[in-house]
Amino acid sequence: MANELIEDTAIALQQEWDLQLPETLSVEAILKLLADRIVTILERGPDTFFQLMYRLDISEKKLNAILRDEDVALKIARLVYDRQLQKIQSRQANKKTNESDDPELRW
């Protein structure tokens, strides 16, 4: 189950962030690639970065706390990864709930 979550999260991040994933997936490898992409986005300007964080529903409070630390890109990558993981887990939980619903109410 854990490997499946990592894979699903990696695929979602690959699509959203245009990442080139390695054959062997690990959280560390994904975070490194994501951190590199975040640095690129930050170099373009803060407006694009903050719009993206807002769209991803990354907590402004958490972001502000991280922006003063070292390894900012890696810590932001962790926030993005964790948020994507939450979305996937939520979808899986709701999928199981929806499967047990009345079949006549499905579209």
Q: Global pTM?
A: 0.82
Mean pLDDT by 10 residues, the chain (107 residues): 84 90 89 95 90 90 87 95 93 70 61
> Tens digit of pLDDT for each residue in 24-53?
889 999 999 999 999 999 899 889 888 999
**Per-residue H/E/C for the chain:** CHHHHHHHHHHHHHHHHCCCCCCCCCHHHHHHHHHHHHHHHHHHCHHHHHHHHHHCCCCHHHHHHHCCCCCHHHHHHHHHHHHHHHHHHHHHHHHHHHHCCCHHHCC
Question: Which pLDDT belongs to residue 33?
Answer: 95
Question: Which pLDDT belongs to residue 102?
Answer: 61
